């Protein structure tokens, strides 16, 4: 199963780690025990600021680690 997350919502101008956490948690809950590929595409929306992408990766890893 693949999860193509909207980069605008995840790492756009108003980066919100709580929203990222809640969105990912909800989507992974819906996937149940399936193997999931989480892909953040079209990262041009970060407007030359890679920090939100780094923070998104940290939050994503935290969500995944909490499920292991």
Task: Return the percentage of the chain with pLDDT > 90, whole number.
Answer: 37
Give the pLDDT confidence score for residue 52 in this predicted structure: 87
**Position 45 confidence tier, pLDDT thresholds 50, 70, 90:** low
Q: What's the pLDDT tens digit per position in 17-26?
A: 999 999 999 9
17 versus 68: the higher-pLDDT residue is 17
The average pLDDT across 33-54 equals: 81
The first and second tokens of residue 61, run together, are: 């890893």
């Amino acid at each position: 199963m693949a999860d193509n997350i909207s980069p605008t919502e995840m790492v756009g101008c108003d980066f919100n780690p709580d929203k990222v956490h809640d969105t990912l948690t909800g989507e992974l809950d819906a996937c149940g025990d399936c193997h999931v590929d989480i892909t953040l595409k079209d990262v041009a929306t970060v407007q030359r600021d890679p920090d939100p992408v780094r923070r998104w990766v940290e939050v994503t890893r935290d969500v995944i680690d909490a499920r292991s």
